[in-house]
Chains A and B, each alone.
Chain A
Amino acid sequence: GQQVMQIPQYQHVQEGEDFTTYCNSSTTLSNIQWYKQRPGGHPVFLIQLVKSGEVKKQKRLTFQFGEAKKNSSLHITATQTTDVGTYFCAGPLSGSARQLTFGSGTQLTVLP
């Protein structure tokens, strides 16, 4: 079945360093979404990418959708302690209108 994989599983960075998480799907995706989940919290929607090669920025966060629409990345510039949490990518299940398949997430720790 469809799989969405994320690497790395864990990442520890010093505050001020950059961070990147990568998401790969076994199938072509019509779109990809990114969510952030703080420790003890619930997932919070960050962004959706739809077009091949699309790049979107939100302040220090840069999201990219691959040309083949099978991979995506999230890059955070100059991390802050408020960036701590787990970042998930999610793509729609093939043939489904609404089922999202989530990756297993990258847990980011920012050391002050």
Chain B
Amino acid sequence: DTGVSQDPRHKITKRGQNVTFRCDPISEHNRLYWYRQTLGQGPEFLTYFQNEAQLEKSRLLSDRFSAERPKGSFSTLEIQRTEQGDSAMYLCASSLPPGQTLSYEQYFGPGTRLTVT
């Protein structure tokens, strides 16, 4: 399967614990995005990477959230001191480099469902 993959698919954690999620984009995609989706809502943008550079971050993103993409391939999203309000589906997406045909098309992974108890 050459699609976007995410790990783990499900995570249950206790409030106050730290969690880390991983995203592996499609190999030829140099852009990578993180979103959060709660029930009945559309995906909410969190952050965006082009190669290893984090170019944009949502102004609404708490400083408990941090993302990295150290080698420009896979990315990790860490949430520190989790709160019940962090319970959501965390989606990763990737897209082709700028200038390529259909570079605006984002391919989403299956997501990591986080439950904070």
Contacts and interface: CB of A to CB of B under 8 A. Distances in A.
A43 B108 contact: yes
A98 B56 contact: yes
Interface residues of B, number: 22
A85 interface: no
Contacts of A42: 91, 108-111
A48 B43 CA distance: 17
Interface string B34-58: 0000001111110010000001101
Contacts of A68: none
B21 interface: no
A98 B43 contact: no
Interface stretch (B64-72, B77-85, B99-107): B99-107
A98 B57 CA distance: 10
A38 B40 CA distance: 13
A63 interface: no
A90 B104 CA distance: 12
Contacts of A105: 40-42
A4 B43 CA distance: 12
B104 A33 contact: yes
B45 A100 contact: yes
Contact of B42 (A48, A90, A93, A97): A90
A44 B45 contact: no
Interface of A: 4, 31, 33, 41-45, 48, 88, 90, 93, 96-105
Given A99-B56, A104-B40, 5 more contacts: A42-B109, A42-B110, A43-B106, A88-B43, A93-B45
